[in-house]
Structure 1
Amino acid sequence: MSGARQAAAPGPRLYDRTTELAAVARLSARADAGAGGVLFVTADPGEGRTALLARAAADFPGTAYRIAAPGHRAPWSGARALIAALAATPSAARRALRRARGGDGLGAAVADLVATSGSGSESGSDTAPGSGSRRSVLICLDDLHLWDAHSRAALTASWQEPGRHVPDRHTPGRHAPGGRRDLGGHAHAGRVRVAWLVSAARHHRFPDVPGAETVRLGRLTPAGGRALLSDVCPVPPAPWVEGQLLDEAAGHPGVLTATVRRLAPAHLAGTAPLPRPAADGAVLAEVYGGLMDRLPADSRRLLAVVALAARTGSGGPDAPTNEVGIDAVLAGARAARTSVEPLDGLIADGLLHRSGATLRFEDSFLGRALLASATGSDAGPTPGRAPDTVLARSEGHRADRLGPPAAVRALTPLVRGRNQLVRGLAALAGGPVMDAHEAFLEAAELLRERAPTEASDARFLAMEAAWAGGDVAGCLAALHGGRGARGTERDFADGLSAALAVRLDEARAALTRVVARDGAADDPRLLLRAGSAALVLGDTTAAARVHARALARARAEDRTALLPRALEHLAYAELRAGRYSRAARTAREGLRAAELTGQDNVAAHQHAVLALVASVAGDGQAVREHAGRALSTARPHGLVQAATLAEWALARDELGRGLAAQATARLVPLVRPGPRGGHFALRMLAVPCFVEAAVASGRSAEARAAAEEYAVWAAQGIDRPAPAQLARCRALLAKGEESAYWFGEAVRRHDSCGNDFERARTLLAYGTWLRRRRRPGDARGPLRDALVTFERAAAEGWAEHARSELRATGGATGGASDPSVARELTPQQQRIARLVAQGATNREVADRLALSPRTVDHHLRSVFARLGIRSRVELPGVVGQWGATPGSPPREPVVPRTWPHEGLA
């Protein structure tokens, strides 16, 4: 985006714009009279919005600023460019931007800047400052629809705020007497009056601003078209040439001008035949390419379906598009797997017109431009991005009916490549992912020379499809095609190939460059690539940050079809980082987005993420529900990654419910190497869970073999929690005090890995190990820490497990009975209860108190009945709350113990 002050040169010549120029003149008069105001200008592409703003700035008697369309939509980029155009110095611009983003708002920042910017040589205005003189300022904002949402909202707030007053720069003090500043209110001597002339595309909805006027630029009359033609033609056109050009342009100044630019003088003079049509696909792509590129992807695809359906009844791709029945559009959308959700918005924006049960383009040139871009005409702007590749797919179906030889002749390689790209997208969204992989590879080869950017996207999508399918060879095949590229694409291909071949030292340098470069980009596809690289490196924090940025950019650019994928990547990154509540929130949003856009495979992955989060929370019913829905899609579509996550979630739930043997049987295929095992990138991540289940179910030999392989993987340093989880595995497999050492080492390593849930699981396992070895005092510390962490993580199932273990040690868990119940027990019963709560058996209590085991059992049953509990497991939680009660003996002495590893107490 750039700003320019008023130029001395005259503005461009305009034709048939008498009404619009009159509206500009009224705005200027209001500014000169101190009333200011806002004038909105809207038009289709190429109809002259920018030319009108340039003419208005040239004709304005005061100071005029022109702010062009932004090159990107980073937050506050528009406000920053506006302020930079108005500010005299960079420091003034920085101060104004801080005000605009703070409580004062953009209106106050602009008010001060226009008041202090001056005139004469400083502003480029011919209006000299004078004491008590009135100065007027015109700010022309072009293409408001391309501005970022933050800046648009700030501008709207400033326009809607009445009674703003701006002091003249020569007024003493920061503000004018009385502190009033004017952005378009009353006339005040020595003050600046600001008028706003704002243009936007026809599909943009202007804000409601009191007193604002809106004008719409229309098409030229034949007389206006001839006048424009005489200006833009390098040689006078022959009469019949002039007639044909005017007919084809249909009064559209942009189409007429672009057509003339592509003709040779011989064409204009009539000595060479004109192309048929003269306003061909290249012309329309030049005029409408920007609009098509910036439409949301799902809207662009739906418009392409409408254009194709309309062409079917018009006799050919160059004939004017006719009305088309809504039923035909809905059928075409289903065939192309395109959402019809944007239809109402396209009608409301004026891109489509609905009359009863039929639709038509308000601007027939837009429908022709969509067709031309999709069918491979020699149009300039980024082929295929508008209208993506839906029409290419439809053309492919038409060619298929002709038979293979005719199909090859009917389609150019560019269209065939886009055809395969669409087939791949459809399969990736809701079909077998390896079908998508093959389609993307073929698309990348066909587009390699003709559309390199699309070819790059196809390779990355082929890699994603193979990754989802758990196919290492497929990933390498997709990456191999990118080795001829340069920059971060080459780094990504080389780095990920090295990682898949377990050459991690070689992979780190290349993938780190990808994260650094693409992670700072504005393009969502590059950000998704950078986030994937960060995950391979094991930097889950960076992966979550980059994928969150990709999601923000996809939202800012209204790329509805890309949102489910961005949410899928972010949910998985949050899951890997141990941020389970964030992962659940993102996955739920991603699930809704995937269901709305018909992306069943993305929905399956989000269900798998939600199943794993539910296994953390201990919600068995949610685990089974989400895992079941994930597997119902993952199995027939070959989604090995989603299936592995879902099975892992089920196993964790079974382990939490004490079903260790069942969990082990479920995990064995997930940790087994080879094509019949789990996903290659998740296999090692599931090993700690497998070791815990296998040890508990008596399969220690298998657990030990898996742990040894896990040790080699953990040493690579690509998963931060791995060293701590390896120590936990060794603690579970060790004997005697060696287990105590490894538990202590695991907790120490957890302190630096950042995954609190896994740390709590280690503490729970450690506390349980201590309690079972009759060391309840030592067990309470780690069990209490585990309980607090589980409660903070809302992991209620695991928290209840920790409470149960803590009660068994005699530790308080927050649910004990009233201490007065001790008075209901006899002194002997109190003694027995305290000893049993400390972990003593009936025989040990009998020996201690010189009683028979049967007597101890009788007293213990009475204790249970009086306290309202059912087992000795609940007794420690009750006794721990008693304290010293009247008539009861002091507590039995307990020999204190410390944790076996230094620093863990």
Structure 2
Amino acid sequence: MRGAPRVAAAPRLYDRTRELAAVAALSARAAEGAGGVLLLTGGPGTGRTALLDRAVRDARIRALRVAAPGGNRVPWSGVRALLAALAPSPSAARRALRAAKGPGGVPGALAALCPGEPLLLCLDDHHLWDAHSRTALDAAWRARTGPWAWVVSFAAYHRAPGVPGARLLSLGRLSRAGARGLLDDVCRAPLTESFRTRLLDEAAGHPGVLVAAAARLSAEPRHGAGADRSSGPVIDDASLAEVYRGLLDSLPAECGRVLTLVAVAGEPPPGTGRPGTVRPVDADAVLAVARAVRASPEALDRLVSDGLLRGSREALRFDDPLLRRAVLGALPPSRRRELAALFAAPDTDRSAGGSGPAGTVRVPEGGPGLPDVVRGRAELARGRAGLGDGPVGDAHQALLLAAGLLREAAPEEAAEARFLAMEAAWAAGDPEACAVALGGADDPGAGADSGAGADAGERDFRDGMGAALAVRLEEARAPLARVVARDGASEEPRRLLRAGAAALVLGDAPAAVRVHARALATIRATGGSALLPRVLEHLAYAELRAGQHERAAAHAREGLRAAESAGQRNAAAHQHAVLALAASVRGDAPAVVEHADRALGTARAHGLVQATTLAEWAIARAELAGGLAAQAAARLAPLVGAGPRGGHFALRMLVVPCFVEAACAAGREAEAGPAAEEFAVWARLGLDPQAPAQLARCRALLAGGGDPADWYREAVRQHEESRNDFERARTLLAYGKWLRRRRRLVEARGPLSDALVTFERAAAGVWADQARAELRATGGAVGRRAVPGAVGELTPQQLRIAGLVAAGATNHEIAGRLSLSPRTVDHHLRNVFARLGVRSRVELSGLLSRTTGDGRRADR
């Protein structure tokens, strides 16, 4: 593999019996026409390439190993290399490559080159292959066609290829006997027994380290039979740097710089501690100096999420201690001293209250001995952490402080701090604090960063948002539109988030979805895991605003997993709120209650007014769908009120149509009227394409200013332009109810039938039941409901649960996958059994296999 020492290959493999047996079994399957995929992973120097070479030598079918093509990962270079190794001529390889790019994909190309021939195809360093080739191969592996055994290696700390059913084996360290045997094979220099023992102890079974050490000892006879160092390591850091060079070279530059900082921060000060001592490293200390070496905080988060670093925020450590030594060994001594000096000030300034426990580096809380830029970066790190997991009011203050401290020396970072401070204030539902973060009257110096240090997008965003918060929308439109156009075409996630926020304020939900989807694609392409929960949070909300409820739920589930993995409880609360709203559309009351409760548990403690409003709204919609109009109206009334006790300032008007419907059904028209009038003023601003239709529905419900039938017809017409099927169906249902209650039964059947079909298509079960009951009351035909046992009768959530049960998952496993509690899964499963007329999981599995073929559709 790349970065491994260039010495003679070992004649034997040690402690790899399990892996070789797995390859042999897979080859035997290929020989019988079945094939499959085996994934092999391991850290630097663990012998992935050696194992693949041995597998090729031992194979009893045609076999080859294909390495990751060098260079800049040219599109299709990996597949081209694979097909060239199999093709009898260059022209045949070119034809095969064209076939691989066509509908038949890689399987079609292999079938054309080697019709019916079993193959063992060993692909080395999958993580280094180009994206086009990886995508094409992933599709081939999922198809599971052809008599081909695929053995795919990839480096540890990289994501495994997503191959359903593939076996994954990790190449670990060698046993003591295996390590001794390898050392005897590769070391030509005679060693004393004590030196050999120390060498084996220090290498800790790492085959690459043993080979590198043996090469160094063989080249330096003075370390031979009589050599025995009394102290210090017997394996020098330079040898370790050679072993780990491939890993270090493959890291993004920012990650490499932060990894170096963590390694240096763990060294005790000169003259203290014994050699080899490593002290705990505080993440805040690393983040405080990261900007000085042009590294962002997200780099540290990525190193932790990828597993290179472990431990708590107060005590970071390397997952592999040898990697830490390799990092230090690759660092010039002068640079090592420079970086160490950056960590010296916090420990020496104990009077500032900056030191924690002995040996722990901490950044002083506003210590006067530190430069403003260092203090500002520490506050920026704390504010960012608080925005993800903590009271957002505290995060807002920390970020404002960071912006002030960074304004002169680091204007770009100051601008980022202001944007994050605005996000914190937005989450808290505090428009005045949003204005301060943007640079309002309470902060006269904020305009200092509006010159050369602020890009045009930042200035437009600040001007446009400031005008929008002051409800001067005509002033806000042009600058915010420029932000959407300019930053929405960027490749930088933070600019894309800024553009998406601008699009939402303008009421352009489709643009917000498009921009946030672009941000998600960018994050996935670059591996920026730290920003992933925030991007998915914003995307799911934008999809809700666009009426794409199932897409919002899918992204919210992914965002919830990402947020929980990253420890970002605030983002998780928002995703639970989105999932509650999506479940309220389906009419899935238990899921609404569960997700809303989880959202509110964090939101109320951390001051997340936006998530609180969304969760309460979801519960009220479920209550309204279930016929509890009075309860829903009582819940919604505070949300539509203005002031600190009301709902979120940017969501109040979105909630009004639901409140008017609940209030009218509960006999509270006197309260609904003023809310509807305020909504009318807001609708004229043009910030929500749904508003005109919803306003007409409110007018019809309140029966004010004309014939309600005219208002209902106007609402339906407006819905046709806004293209939100769920809201249109709710209007049709309300219209049909109104007509039926006035004995206009024939007229009522059309709107009710249309509403029923729309609700059924959206799997909005409770809403569909309402429409069906109303239609039946008119004497109209409601159609033949699915017979018991029909899978099509299940809601999407029930279908997912049924599919997972059929695949063998337990209730606890399903709960973890779908972010539900086992109790809720059990509730859904009982309903599935009742609807399908089955009594056991075995019967359910059999029914799904007969109904959906292999059952895969039910597991989506």
Structure-2 residue corresponding to 1:364: 325
Partner of 1:768: 737
**Residue aligning to 2:724:** 755
1:411 alignment partner in structure 2:
370
1:405–1:436 Cα change, 3 Å = closer
Residues 307, 368 of structure 1: 8 Å contact kept: no
Q: Does structure 2 conserve the Cα–Cα contact (< 8 Å) formed by 1:612 and 1:649? A: yes
In structure 1, distance between residues paired with 2:636 and 2:335: 48
Aligned to 2:532: 563
| Alpha-carbon distance in 1 for matches of 2:369, 2:278 | 26
Matched with 2:459 is 490
> Which residue pairs with 1:291 in the alignment?
251
Contact 1:417 1:442 in 2 (8 A): yes
1:872 corresponds in structure 2 to: none
Classify the secondary structure of the residue corresponding to 1:719.
coil
CA contact (8 A) 1:618 1:796 kept: yes
Residue type at the aligned position of 2:367: V
Name the structure where helix makes up a greater proportion of residues. Answer: 2
Rounded to whole Å, the distance in 2 between the matches of 1:376 and 1:447 is: 26
CA separation in 2, counterparts of 1:729 and 1:546?
A: 32
- State the secondary structure of the residue aligned to 2:721: coil
In the alignment, residue 700 of structure 2 is paired with which amino acid? A
Correspondence 1:11-26 to 2 at 5 A: none
Cα 1:295–1:155 shift into 2, 3 Å:
farther
CA deviation profile, 1:103-154 (whole Å, cap 9, x unmatched): 5769999xxxxxxxxxxxxxxxxxxxxxxxxxxxxxxxx9996765334556
Given that 1:495 and 1:510 are in contact with CA atoms closer than 8 Å, whether structure 2 keeps it comes out as yes
Aligned residue runs from structure 1 range 419-434, under 5 A: 419-434=378-393
Q: C-alpha separation between the residues in 1 aligned to 2:728 and 2:786?
A: 31
Contact 1:620 1:653 in 2 (8 A): yes
Mark the CA change 1:627 to 1:156 in structure 2 (over 3 Å): closer, same or farther.
Answer: closer
Measure how far apart 1:504 and its partner are.
Answer: 1.8
Q: How far has the Cα of 1:250 moved from its partner?
A: 6.4
CA shift, 1:760, in A, is 0.4
1:606 aligns with 2:568: no
For residues 720 and 781 of structure 1, what CA distance do their matches in structure 2 show? 25
Question: If the length of structure 1 is used for normalisation, what is the TM-score?
Answer: 0.57
- SS of 1:464's partner is helix
Residue of structure 2 in register with 1:853 after alignment: none
Specify the code of the residue in structure 2 equivalent to 1:463.
Answer: M
Gaps of 5+ in 1: 1-15, 21-41, 45-64, 83-93, 110-141, 159-198, 209-213, 226-248, 256-286, 349-353, 385-389, 819-905
Instruction: Identify if the C-alpha distance between structure 1 residues 602 and 294 changes in structure 2 by more than 3 Å, giving closer, same or farther.
Output: same
SS in 2 for 1:568: helix
CA shift, 1:724, in A, is 0.3
Q: CA deviation at 1:528?
A: 1.8
Output the amino acid matched with 1:150: H
Q: Whole-Å Cα distance in 2 between the matches of residues 738 and 375 of structure 1?
A: 81
2:701 is aligned, of 721, 732, 742, to 732
Task: Give the deviation of 1:251 after TM superposition.
Answer: 4.9
Q: Which residue of 2 aligns with 1:30?
A: none
Equivalent residue number for residue 631 of structure 1: 600
Aligned pair count reads 625
Residue in 2 aligned with 1:133?
none
Cα distance in 2 between the residues matched to 1:442 and 1:560: 26
Measured in 2, the distance between the counterparts of 1:431 and 1:502 equals 30
Contact 1:644 1:679 in 2 (8 A): yes
Q: Distance in 1 between matches of 2:337 and 2:401?
A: 17
Shift of 1:291: 3.3
Q: Distance in 2 between matches of 1:374 and 1:674?
A: 55
Q: Helix, strand or coil: the match of 1:362?
A: helix
Letter matched to residue 591 of structure 1: L
Tell me the amino acid that sits aligned with residue 715 of structure 1.
Answer: R
In 2, are the aligned partners of 1:69 and 1:146 still within 8 Å (CA)? no
Instruction: Give distance in 2, aligned partners of 1:467 and 1:789.
Output: 34
Name the residue aligned to 1:656. 625
* Matches for 1:453-468 after TM superposition, within 5 Å: 453-468=412-427
Q: Is the 8 A contact 2:583 2:589 kept in 1?
A: yes
Change (3 A) 1:316 1:603: farther
Find the counterpart in structure 1 of residue 837 from structure 2. none
Matched ranges for 1:866-885 at <5 A:
none
* C-alpha separation in 2, matches of 1:413 and 1:320: 35
**Aligned-partner SS, 1:475:** helix
Aligned 1:773-792 pairs, distance under 5 A: 773-792=742-761
Does structure 2 conserve the Cα–Cα contact (< 8 Å) formed by 1:296 and 1:559?
Answer: no
| Residue equivalent to 1:685 | 654
Structure 1 residue 702: deviation in Å?
2.4
Q: 1:722 aligns with which of 691, 695, 698?
A: 691
Shift of 1:296: 10
Asked if the contact 1:791/1:799 (under 8 Å) is kept, the reply is yes
Distance in 2, matches of 1:396 and 1:81, equals 62
Distance in 2 between the 1:373 and 1:785 partners? 76
State the alpha-carbon separation in 1 of the partners of residues 383 and 769 from structure 2: 47
Native 8 Å contact 1:376 1:414 kept in 2: no
Is the 1:711–1:726 Cα contact (8 Å) retained in structure 2? Answer: yes
Match of 2:267 among 280, 300, 311: 311
Note if 1:442 corresponds to 2:442. no
Letter in structure 2 aligned against 1:411: L
Please identify the structure whose Cα radius of gyration is greater. Answer: 1
Partner of 2:131: 149
**Counterpart of 2:292?**
none
**Unpaired segments of 5 or more residues in structure 2?**
10-42, 46-67, 82-93, 110-123, 141-152, 162-166, 168-206, 221-235, 287-296, 311-315, 440-445, 788-860
C-alpha distance in 1 between matches for 2:734 and 2:667: 16
- 1:701 aligns with 670
**Counterpart Cα distance in 2 of 1:782 and 1:631:** 37
Is 1:346 the counterpart of 2:305 in the alignment? no
Taking a change above 3 Å as real, the CA distance of residues 516 and 223 of structure 1, as seen in their structure-2 partners, is farther
| Cα distance, 1:557 vs structure 2 | 2.0
Partner in structure 2 of residue 641 of structure 1? 610
**Which residue in 2 is equivalent to 1:102?**
102
Alpha-carbon distance change, 697 to 203 in structure 1, aligned in 2, over 3 angstroms: closer
- 1:523 partner letter: E
Instruction: After TM superposition, give the deviation of residue 526 of structure 1 in Å.
Output: 2.0
Q: Is the 8 A contact 1:757 1:789 kept in 2?
A: yes
Deviation at 1:643, TM superposition (A): 0.4
Cα distance change of structure 1 residues 330 and 462 upon mapping to structure 2, 3 Å threshold: closer
Q: In 1, are the aligned partners of 2:520 and 2:535 still within 8 Å (CA)?
A: yes
The AA in structure 1 aligned to 2:505 is: V
Partner deviation per Cα, 1:251-275 (whole Å, 9 max, x = no partner): 59999xxxxxxxxxxxxxxxxxxxx
| Correspondences of 1:660-671 after superposition (within 5 Å) | 660-671=629-640
Partners of 1:365 and 1:617 in 2: CA distance: 55
What is the deviation of 1:585? 1.5
1:376–1:412 Cα contact (<8 Å) kept:
no
Determine what percentage of the aligned residue pairs are the same residue: 56
Cα 1:368/1:567, change in 2 over 3 Å: farther
Would the alpha carbon gap of residues 648 and 445 (structure 1) be closer, same or farther in structure 2, given more than 3 Å must change? Answer: same
Preserved CA contact (<8 Å) 1:647 1:667: yes
Asked whether the equivalents of residues 321 and 368 of structure 1 are also in contact (C-alpha less than 8 Å), the reply is no
2: CA distance, partners of 1:568 / 1:465 = 14
